[in-house]
Structure 1
Amino acid sequence: MSFRQRLPPTTPFLILLFLCLCLLSPSTSNELEPLFKLKTALQGSNPTVFTSWTEATPICSFTGVVCNSNGLVSEINLSQQKLSGILPFDSICSLQSLKKLSLGWNGLHGSLTDDLKNCTSLKQLDLGNNSFTGKVPDLSSLSQLTLLSLNGSRFSGAFPWKSLENLTQLTFLSLGDNPFELSSFPAEVIKLDKLYWLYLTNCSITGQIPEGIGNLILLENLELSSNQLSGEIPQSISNLKKLRQLELYENLLTGKLPAGLGSLPSLVNFDASANKLEGDLSELRSLTQLASLQLFENQLEGEIPEEFGEFKSLVKLSLYKNKLTGTLPQKLGSWAGLDYIDVSENYLTGPIPPDMCNNGKMVDFLLLQNNFTGGIPENYANCKSLNRFRVSNNSLSGSVPVGMWSLPNVIIIDLAMNQFEGPLAPDIGKANSLSLLLLANNRFSGELPDTLSEATSLVSIQLSVNQFEGPIPETIGNLKKLSSLHLDQNMLSGTIPDSLGSCVGISEINLAQNNISGQIPSSLGSLHNLNSLNLSGNQLSSEIPTTLSSLKLSLLDLTNNRLIGRIPESLSIQAFSGSFDGNPGLCSRNMQNVRPCSSNSGTSRGPRIFLSSFIAGVLVLLVVVAVISLLKLRRKSLDHPLKSDSWTMKQYHVLSFTEKEILDSIRAENLIGKGGSGNVYKVALSDGKELAVKHIWTTSDTCDRKSYRSSASMLKKCKPRSSEYDAEVATLSSLRHVNVVKLYCSISSEDSNLLVYEYFPNGSLWDQLHTSNKMKMGWEVRHEIALGAARGLEYLHHGNHRPVIHRDVKSSNILLDGDWKPRIADFGLAKIMQVGADCTHVIAGTVGYIAPEYAYTCKVNEKSDVYSFGVVLMELVTGKRPTEPEFGDNMDIVSWVCSKMQYKESVLELVDSSISDYLKEDAIKVLSIAIHCTARVPVLRPSMRMVVQMLEEAEPRKLTSINITKEG
């Protein structure tokens, strides 16, 4: 009899019922509840991730969920899903078979609770790149972990290094980019002998790297960068024969490269930049597998080994700012696709190697500030991959290969301060990506080609101190992105093109010491971004256009020309004392060093001028009559109150005023300032409180700003700049910090917008440092302003779910209340950063404060703000503006300070003379912080969180009192 025949008839049914009960066993159904709790905690930001997480779907089919052979949850992987929320570890850890939890690259926040210790089955825990707060809890119970990734998640406090003693199975440990408390190199790490990946970058580790690091012989990746490690690189690192990547940059390491380092057969990437390493590079001559070698900003000396020319995998070489001598290996880059070389700021000599772009992959070619000789190899004209070609400050000569002017991807051509000669080729117009053309201090000659205006991406043209001749191209107005134009000290002739007034973004014009004649175009008065205008040493004649009165210049130099007539009243101020010397035909009513105007000055040049003046007078009289009539009509219209439903108020704080109080105060007598985006009015409320109200200007040319200042009803006549308005409201309405300006409310109608802020009686930091109305500020006050402003920026960068990048940090955007407490203001350019890099094709910011990378990259991040803040710190210490004539050609405050800091005897001279001698040493500490903030390479700049910490440590010695007195 068969087995089937012996079974009772009900047996198959019972077996099937048993299997169904197994599938619906309590162990499986119990896992549904914690998963739903996880879904409830996180679904708010990206509900599509959890579409499959329903009761109708088997758990093992949930998105991101993997089950084991028993049907129990073994893995949850929801990385990079744009999730936010607080993790319910009490629920997650009830999944007793959970082996892998991956939630990296999201926006998770809150703290890690002690419930995490119950996830004892976990083998992989990845919570990296989130926005957690607080400390990392004790992890001792997670003894089965092989992978632990918590990097870049904003954890703070002391890390529980002792926990690692129990995590002996770890093969992957990533804790970097967290602001932990300072600690010496954790001895517990040295015992994790199964590690192949160790990432402890930027997590506040001090002291020396222990020799025991050589015990981790399975390591393939070792990253200890951006800490405060000191001492020498341990020789035991030579034991790590499997090491492929060694990152030690941004520490305080000293001594020579350790013996045996060159015996690491698998080393591909080595970066020990920004340390204090000494000695030569001979130890590295046998690292034939290197693809990237970066040792910039050290004190290395000697020659670059000739063997580097035989490295067939080398694609990146960065050795700038050392003391290297000798020549570059002539075969360098001949084998691989070398795409980046920077050996700037050394003492290298000899010719440029001929074949570094033979493979057509060179992107960045930087040989600045050496002693290279000879010419540019002809075949570089075919290097179509080039983005940056910078060889300034050398002894190079000859003509530039013609094809180099028209390379399709080149962003910077920097040949300044050499001995190049020949013309600027007409092919320059084909350089569609060219942003910076830097040719100053050479022997270039010939006329400027008209095709220059076809390179419409140009932002900066610096051709000073050459032998160019002929006229400035009439079509130069086509360069709408142009920010600076330096053509001084050439032999240019002709007139200043009227089209120059169409370069709407330009902030610097220097045409000094040429042979330019004719008149100053009145169109220059429309350049509202213009900050510096130097037309000195030419043959300009006629009167100074009154349109220049509308400009807000920090530098004006019209000396040594043939100008005549009356200097416009708004230019006859102390700030421009000396700006008109060498023009005997000029006169002024109130400038001491200019001859006084007689009653008929500027109006007695013959019958024709008299007739013109008479006609103009009649026209003015007619206009006055018309305006008076118009004002009467408008006054009648203002007798009727504004309808409340014509305006919409959005409040962001509890208010003690009404919209009518604000609107009634928008009058000419309350005007306190004019900016690039609109007028600012002071409003005094009935309760004595004072506010500032900004009216955002129009972008329409049909709106005459001057016509609509007198009343709130007139605000509707102009269509506002909605983009700036939206940016400022969107940013400010969500911010809450004592050092960020408070936006009380916005008031808007269909076509007009007002922003209501707190009022700042002490104006801006720029006002207090650089204007005739400034106050004398002691160092203690300046330090408090620096620290407060830094805390405001720290909040913007690190205190929000997504960083807020200001993009226009400058002293005029740091406002001071009655107690001299600073507020970060003016967010019209701000960007709230998304995951990944932001990109803009317009250089945002103000000349003198703009980070150098803006000139050749579209990436904008927090480090751009850090640079600008570094410039503000320099202003606070030196009392100088970001650009001053005394700095010299092509220098701003950053390059000026750095040049002075090289010599000990001139360091104290940098400090503002109004600062007490007793506190100048303290001011120098802040100047050192400023230099870190303005590092040329963004990655070398500290975060604003680190800047705050450094400023706190640089607190000045206490004086008995702080004196702030009005200058006489």
Structure 2
Amino acid sequence: MPLHLLLLILLCFLPGSNSSSESELQIILHLKNSLGITNSTDSGFQTWNIPSPTSPCQFHGITCNSGFSVTGIDLSNKRVSGTIPFSSLCQLPSLANISLASNYISGILTSDLRNCTELTYLDLSFNNLTGTIPDLSPLHKLQTLALSDNFFSGVFPWTSLRNLTSLTYLSLADNPFAASAFPVLVTNLTKLYWLYLSDSNLHGEIPPSIGQLTALIDLELADNSLSGPIPPEIAKLEKLWQLELYNNSLTGTLPSGFGNLSELANFDASMNLLEGNVSELRLLKKLVSLQLFYNDFSGELPREFGEFKYLVNLSLYSNRFSGELPATIGSWSELNFVDVSTNSFSGKIPPDMCRMGTMKKLLILENKFSGEIPATYGDCTTLIRFRVSNNSLSGVVPAAIWSLPNVNIIDLKINQFEGGINAGIGKAKSLYQLYLAGNKFSGEIPVEIAGASSLVGIDFSSNNLSGQIPASIGELNSLVSLLLQNNSFSGAIPETIGGCVSLNAINLADNFFSGEIPASLGELQSLNSLVLSNNELSGVVPESLSSLKLSSLDLSNNELTGAVPSGLSANAYNGGFAGNPNLCSNSISYLSPCSRSSGSPSRIRLAVTCLLAAFALLLCFMGLFLLKKRRSDRFTENSASWDVKSFRVLSFDEQEIVKSISEDNVIGKGGSGNVYRVDLGGGNTVAVKHILHPPSTGTVTSKATAAMLPTRPGSVRSLSREFEAEVNTLSSIRHVNVVKLYCSITSEESSLLVYEYLPNGSLWDQIHSVAGGKLGLDWETRYEIAVGAAKGLEYLHHGCDRPILHRDVKSSNILLDEFFKPRIGDFGLAKILQGAVGSEDSSSSSSTHVIAGTHGYIAPEYAYTWKVNEKSDVYSFGVVLMELVTGRRPIEPEYGDNKDIVYWVARRMTSRDSIFGILDGSFRESEKEEAARVLKVAVLCTAMLPATRPSMRTVVQMLEDAGGPRLLGESEGKHRSSDRAEAKLDKVSSYKVVSVSNHGC
């Protein structure tokens, strides 16, 4: 071959030596611009910033063939955003691999994608892609198709799969697709080894033809609306390593032959309607994780479970299992998590579940276990949760249990334990909840308890404990609740208790305490409840208690003397001073007066008092009449001085609004002003909130009085804080579940906020005030209201430039349009947080010291920290969910003194039947399972500790999961974890009941 010809051939293969290479370089540079790749994007992109690149093959993540033609693009997990230019990418003639997973890419999949006919691998999972998926039939060479965890909508083009016969990996999960029946076409893709269709809005039954996919090692169909039985043909999938069926409506038993799945390591069928025994599982010796919670399984566990060598996670709670746990369970496996709570297991606790030293959580509460706690658990230093409450256990607790170094919760309540609290408790540095109530513990509280410095909750109530409270208790400055009632404690209450600066609740009732009430209790500014009744306390009631903001105070049945401090002299404490014959008060009706009068009040004095009262009442009526007249005059006189600030296109003027502000048009009254209905001339209707401004100077605080003050020339009254908060918040919000603010109309003395009018009033009205022949809300409507309202709050917390805290979430502030779609309203108490929402620390800088809200909805941390953050909104929303599900009010006499719906619900979350028993009686049987799942979300939202409540983002996801079979449209509020393993773990923990049963928390 001539030398010049050889050189020409070699030249053709050099980078940048031909037009094809230059063309491909331009395409990759276009991709770079579309994804916004810069020097700072990621450390792997330095090669993308070469000043004069000659070939796309020089770039990190780009692979080429021997002819320098691009064959693959792998930019997964590079934190890139922007859109994908399929129109140009598909012009790369050799492109076979596109992997852009785990980024922030948005946009849609255009029909240009169909031109990438050489593709064998397409992974766009974990991004923010939207829209419908085009016909994929031309991609006949595809082997991997991964589109999971995006925001695709519409119906997936299932018929495209007919042409994709080479597929081995199909992942479409976690997208808000339109509802469709299980795609039987999928079962013809016999080369599949991975099929991930969870949370894809599938309904119907799993077809018997699933048995054709014999190459499968992973089958995930969770979080759908699948019903019917698990088909027996599933037993043909003998290579299965993972089977995920959780959160559907599957019925029946585990099919015969299920034990043939001998390679199965992870099996999750939790949250279904499955029943029968689990004998088929005895042959699955490679099981690592078995999760069957929230079903109706019964019978005994096969003894073969005790021989499983790989078992790590066993979650069987809330079923009807009985019999004994296999005695050898855990003897051979590295068990990490065991929760068999809320069943009917009996017999002894297997001794070797922590034999391998890996156990972190052991939860066997609410069963019928008996016997002693095996001493082996004292060596289980990895334990974080140890919960064995509500059983029939007895004997002395092994000494080493008390001093476990990593344990957070020791829960032994409602058993028959005896003996004392070991001094080793002082070594439990991680312990924050110690529950011993309802046992036979005796002896004294050890002085060493002060060493457990992380303690938040102590409940030793209803035991046989005696002696004095050690003075060292005052060193527990994180302690929130101290419950020692119904024991035999004696001696004085230590003055050092004032060192427990975080205390919110103290109950020392029904003991033999003597001496005086320590004045140091008045230093506990977080204290909300103080119960010292039925003791032998003497002396005076300390004046220092008057400084506390107590909602519950009970000092009854002691030997107290002297006058009740004026700051406590109120009948609101419901007999809290009764049974102290030597106490006196001039304000508390059931106590003797503190000073003798010169005689019985004469009839003349009584008559004079009545006349004075009547005269004062007359003056009030006259004042109200003059006030209404003056307001009307002011509106007329100052109508030309109104300043209008519009936030949307208006079809009315301020005069039309101002003239309609009259008592005849009032449709609601709130703490910050009246709400009026205004029918506009064009046939539209708006709602107008009238807010009175406080005066700029002086000491007048009454709104009514402020409105009557004359306006001096040149004086400018400041806008009320409520008005500023509501305008600043609402004017910037655009969300379908937040009420629309059209404009504000302000004058010196008052302001008007003009909203969209919502004809179905508030959620409170619809739940609690249904009358006059109107029908109550059905479950389907209630569920959609719950999800919509949750999305509105999620937007406020997570969707704004600066997160917004509402601070007064309640059913009367959730308004309903003509279709009963919810809107979050009344932002008079809102505050835009300075920091990022989402901190688990309730004392973070994103909290505010302003106490606000409505009784029955206020989170408990208001009382003991005076700080609120977004988790306080979550608590209030949990109360709203309880209203929706039970039909009850937040506060009702039935709950008991100082009790609310949260307490009432928690006391009844003990079994499936008891949960169903508190649901609204109007629900159909077919709706109760779904309503119960929503109630469990409500319980999670109302957890005592703010850090354990979910974020509103998680609440939306959980509500959508709870709804299962519903079509919620394009789930704009849907967000997911980018890590499948973490998401699974979150799912498992998030559905546990945080209440009296409190599994796993």
Does the pair score TM above 0.5?
yes
Counterpart residue number, 1:560:
557
1:487 is the counterpart of 2:484: yes
- Classify 1:931/1:30 alpha carbon distance in 2 versus 1 (closer, same or farther; 3 Å): same
| Displacement after TM superposition at 1:479 (Å) | 2.4
Whole-angstrom distance in 1 between the partners of 2:305 and 2:962: 42
In the TM superposition, what is the alpha-carbon distance from 1:540 to its structure 2 partner? 3.2
**1:787-843 superposed Cα distances (whole Å, 9 cap, x missing partner):** 667535324547998899999998667783999964487678998589xxx765979
What's the CA shift for 1:405?
0.8
Choose the corresponding residue for 2:41, options 44, 47, 62: 47
Q: Distance in 2 between matches of 1:559 and 1:459?
A: 27
SS in 2 for 1:53: helix
What SS does the aligned partner of 1:301 have? Answer: strand
* Residue 484 of structure 1, CA deviation: 2.2
Return the alpha-carbon distance in structure 2 between the equivalents of residues 202 and 351 of structure 1. 40
Within the candidate set 51, 60, 70, 2:57 is matched to 60
Over aligned residue pairs, what C-alpha RMSD do you find?
A: 5.0
Unaligned runs of 5+ in 1: 602-650, 673-683, 696-727, 745-755, 761-766, 853-860, 912-916, 955-968
Partner of 1:136: 133
Shift of 1:443: 0.9
CA distance 1:432–1:551, change in 2 (3 Å): same
Mapped to 2, the partners of 1:353 and 1:461 lie a distance apart of 28
1:398 CA drift (Å): 0.8
1:946 aligns with 2:956: no
3-state SS of 1:23 partner: coil
Shift of 1:570: 5.8
Q: Hey, what's the Cα distance between the residues in 2 that align with 1:511 and 1:302? A: 43
Question: 2: distance between equivalents of 1:315 and 1:278?
Answer: 24
2:907 aligned partner, one-letter code: W
Q: Following TM superposition, by how much is the alpha carbon of 1:865 offset from its aligned partner in structure 2, in angstroms?
A: 8.2
- 1:123 paired residue number: 120
Counterpart amino acid of residue 28 in structure 1: S
Residues 923 and 472 (structure 1 numbering): CA distance in 2 closer, same or farther, change over 3 Å? farther
CA contact (8 A) 1:190 1:212 kept: yes
- SS of residue paired to 1:267: coil
Post-superposition offset of 1:71: 1.2
Residue from 174, 184, 189 that aligns with 1:187: 184
User: 2:722 matched to 1:692?
Assistant: yes
Partner of 1:112: 109
Q: Secondary structure at the match of 2:32?
A: helix
From 906, 931, 934, the counterpart of 2:935:
931
Answer whether contact 1:507 1:532 (CA < 8 A) is retained.
Answer: yes
Shift of 1:482: 2.3
Task: Measure the CA separation in 2 of the matches of 1:594 and 1:932.
Answer: 45
Q: Which moved more, 1:129-138 or 1:423-432?
A: 129-138
Say if 1:829 and 1:597 are closer, same or farther in 2 by CA, change over 3 A: farther
Task: State yes or no: 1:319 paired with 2:316.
Answer: yes
The residue number in structure 1 matching 2:292 is 295
> Are 2:882 and 1:878 equivalent residues in the alignment?
no
SS of residue paired to 1:368: coil
Task: Give the drift of 1:364.
Answer: 1.1
Following the alignment from structure 2 to structure 1, what is the Cα–Cα distance between the partners of residues 477 and 719? 44
Residue 12 of structure 2 corresponds to residue 28 of structure 1: no
Q: Which letter maps to 2:261?
A: L
- Is 1:465 aligned to residue 462 of structure 2? yes
After TM superposition, give the deviation of residue 223 of structure 1 in Å: 0.9
- TM-score scaled by structure 1? 0.73
Distance 2:646 2:64 in 1: 48
Q: Distance in 1 between matches of 2:379 and 2:174?
A: 41
Contact 1:789 1:814 (C-alpha < 8 Å) held by counterparts: no
Matched, 1:455 2:452: yes
- Tell whether the 8 Å contact from 1:494 to 1:517 is kept in structure 2 after alignment: yes
What is the Cα deviation at residue 563 of structure 1?
A: 3.7
Shift of 1:237: 0.6
How many angstroms apart in 2 are the aligned matches of 1:536 and 1:303?
A: 47
Correspondences of 1:538-577 after superposition (within 5 Å):
538-567=535-564, 571-572=568-569, 575-577=572-574
Match status 1:70 vs 2:74: no
Q: Partners of 1:798 and 1:199 in 2: how far apart?
A: 29
1:129–1:554: structure 2 CA closer, same or farther, 3 Å change rule? farther
Letter in 2 for 1:47: T
Q: Deviations over 1:522-572 (max 9, x none)?
A: 444454544433222223344444554554444333332334455556655
- Cα distance change of structure 1 residues 286 and 850 upon mapping to structure 2, 3 Å threshold: farther
Report the AA paired with residue 692 of structure 1: E
Residue of structure 2 equivalent to 1:373 = 370
Deviation of 1:416 (Å): 0.7
Distance 2:169 2:956 in 1: 27
SS at match of 1:285: helix
Partner of 2:336: 339
Mapped partners of 2:148, 2:67: distance in 1:
33
Conserved? CA contact 2:694–2:701, under 8 Å: no
Q: Does structure 1 retain, via aligned residues, the 8 Å contact 2:778–2:923?
A: no
C-alpha distance 502-232 of structure 1, shift in aligned 2 (>3 A): same
CA 1:496 to 1:872, structure 2 compared with 1: closer, same or farther past 3 Å? farther
Deviation of the 1:100 alpha carbon: 1.7
The amino acid across from 1:273 in the alignment is S
Amino acid at match of 2:77: Q
Q: Deviations over 1:897-953 (max 9, x none)?
A: 43597259x947x76xxxxx9899999899645424147799998726628979999
Cα separation, partners in 2 of 1:775 and 1:232, compared to 1, 3 Å: closer
- Which residue identity is paired with 2:345? L
Map Cα deviations across residues 415-456 of structure 1 (whole Å, 9 max, x no partner). 111111111111111111112111111111111122212212
Instruction: Tell me which residue corresponds to 1:382.
Output: 379
Distance 1:84 1:561, change over 3 A: farther
Match of 2:616 in 1: none
How big is the shift at 1:374?
Answer: 1.0
Distance 2:537 2:924 in 1: 45
Amino acid paired to 1:56: S
Cα deviation code 1:671-728 (max 9, x no counterpart): 99xxxxxxxxxxx998998651799xxxxxxxxxxxxxxxxxxxxxxxxxxxxxxxx9
Q: Could you tell me the TM-score, scaled by structure 2's length?
A: 0.71
CA distance in 2, matches of 1:194, 1:907: 49
Deviations 1:869-906 (CA, angstroms, capped at 9, x unpaired): 344322463224599547999993332343597259x9
Q: 1:794 touches 1:948 (CA, 8 Å); kept in 2?
A: no
Specify the alignment match of 1:171 in structure 2.
Answer: 168
SS at match of 2:458: strand
Amino acid corresponding to residue 881 of structure 2 in structure 1 = L
Separation in structure 1 between the aligned mates of residue 364 and residue 462 of structure 2, nearest angstrom: 21
Instruction: Give the superposition deviation at 1:216.
Output: 0.4
SS, match of residue 246 in structure 1: strand
* Superposed displacement of residue 104, structure 1: 1.6
**1:580 partnered with 2:577:** yes
- Which residue number in structure 1 is paired with residue 913 of structure 2? 902
SS at match of 1:278: strand
Q: Is the contact made by 1:863 and 1:941 (CA closer than 8 Å) also made in structure 2?
A: no
Q: 1:96, 1:484 → 2: CA distance? A: 70
Q: Is the Cα contact below 8 Å between 2:811 and 2:880 reproduced in 1?
A: no
Does the 8 Å contact 1:131/1:801 carry over to 2? no
SS in 2 for 1:434: coil
Give CA deviations for 1:157-201 in whole Å, capped at 9, x if unaligned.
322222222222111111112222222211121111111111111
Query: Please, which runs of 5 or more residues in structure 2 have no aligned partner?
Result: 599-644, 649-653, 655-691, 704-710, 743-750, 756-761, 817-821, 848-852, 861-868, 941-947, 969-1001
User: How far off is 1:311 after superposition?
Assistant: 1.2
CA deviation digits over 1:637-669, x for unaligned, max 9? xxxxxxxxxxxxxx9989x9xxxx999859864
Aligned pair partner of 1:286 in 266, 277, 283: 283
Query: Could you tell me whether the CA contact under 8 Å between 1:742 and 1:757 is conserved in 2?
Result: no
Check the 8 A contact 2:203/2:965 in 1, yes or no: no
Alignment CA distance shift 1:567-1:929 (3 Å): farther
Note if contact 2:90-2:112 (Cα within 8 Å) is conserved in structure 1.
Answer: yes
Q: Are the aligned partners of 1:577 and 1:591 in contact in 2 as well (CA < 8 Å)?
A: no
| Match status 1:517 vs 2:538 | no
Matches of 1:116 and 1:527, distance apart in 2:
66
Q: Which amino acid aligns with 1:292?
A: S
